[in-house]
Amino acid sequence: QEPTPPGGRHRDPGAPKPFEGAMSSHYAVAMAMRAGNMVAPSMQGGVQYGELSGSSQAEQLRHAALLKRVEAEKRARGIVVPTAEGEVRSALRKLGHPVRLFGESAAD
């Protein structure tokens, strides 16, 4: 038997369901269980969850790596880096790094 939607009326399946508070969540759970998208809680009160497929697990890993890269790029864009020659030399000296590499002269 199909669960009765909130309000007790059957409506066109393609019509959007209006928000009707907690009753709509019970209806949604009943429909998900009927469609096989959700497993009913066991008698002990727990809920059974299905395992993710290998492709879903791989997609989660790929997504996590992508988020990590995007966050790193976002942090890198926020770093202020001097570009004027005098500022660069001053920053290098503060860090104890050489100002000229490989025997470059001021003329180079």
Per-domain residue ranges for the chain? Answer: 1-41, 65-101
Number of C-alpha atoms within 13 angstroms, CB side, residue 4? Answer: 4
The pTM of this model reads: 0.35
| Per-residue pLDDT tens digits of the chain, which is 108 residues long | 555 655 556 555 655 555 555 556 777 777 777 777 766 655 445 555 677 788 888 889 999 999 999 999 999 999 888 788 888 888 888 999 887 766 566 665
Percentages (nearest 5) of helix, strand, coil residues in the chain? 45, 0, 55
Under a CB-based contact definition with an 8 Å cutoff, are residues 1 and 30 in contact?
A: no
